[in-house]
Amino acid sequence: MSKSLTDKLVAEIEQKIVKGEWGVGEKIPTHREMVSLFSVSRSVINAAIKDLDSMGYLEIIPRKRIVVADWKNQGTLSVLGALIREKAFDKKTLSSLLRSRELIETECAKLAALNSTPKNIEEIKNHISLGKNILTISEKVEYDIKFHHLIAVASGNIVYALIIKSFEDYSREFISPFYKSGDVFPFVSTRHEKLLSAIKDRDPESASNIMKEILSHGEKIILSLLDKL
């Protein structure tokens, strides 16, 4: 059985659900109907349904047909990725995402001031130095993403570092429009230097506040650009 066919079918059904073509609580087409609708075998359909069930999109009711689950409340992080890819989020969802990021990253900054090693500090310092020579939007985006991951690593909390890393693809969808919105990089790079100083000074409160300032600035611009994302 081809994994690529399964992935393709998962993506097609995911799109229908996220865009509301298949509503919550509705029964999905039968296997026979899906064979005709998607031109794939029953084995591919079974594999896709299993994946979609584990992702929180479908609910398999014994002795009944399969229905679309309450995926916004029961889904996994993959649902968030689909919402972003399909531009199917609203301002409330985007705000929730940005606020969740703020909660995690301000804590990362605080912990980095308490737990960072000389190696962590040197890596952040070198990265900031490299940032002084970048020019393109794509370079700024990648610089920004790596900076935040370095702070998470410096926190000493492996779970935070993994969460920030897992959000990178989603973050690109918002960080790119942010840098395209105007000359915001001087503000960002200056705050990055201040954050590094707070971490070096072992000042967790200042580190947390500076990170909050960075993220609040970005949130304000990103929310204002929602219609353009």
Walk me through the domains of the chain, giving residue ranges and CATH numbers: 3-79 (1.10.10.10), 89-228 (1.20.120.530)
pLDDT value, residue 74 = 87
Structure confidence at residue 229 (pLDDT): 53
Q: Report helix, strand or coil for 140.
A: helix
| pLDDT on residue 228 | 59
CB 155 within 8 A of CB 113: no
Instruction: Output the six-digit token pair for 93.
Output: 């969802």
pLDDT in tens, the chain (229 residues): 446 899 999 999 999 999 899 999 999 999 999 999 999 999 999 999 999 999 999 998 887 789 999 998 888 878 887 887 777 777 788 888 889 999 999 999 999 999 999 999 999 999 999 999 998 999 999 999 999 999 999 999 999 999 999 888 878 888 999 999 989 999 999 999 999 999 999 999 999 999 999 999 999 998 888 765 5
Alpha helices by DSSP H, listed for 65-117, are: 71-74, 77-85, 91-115
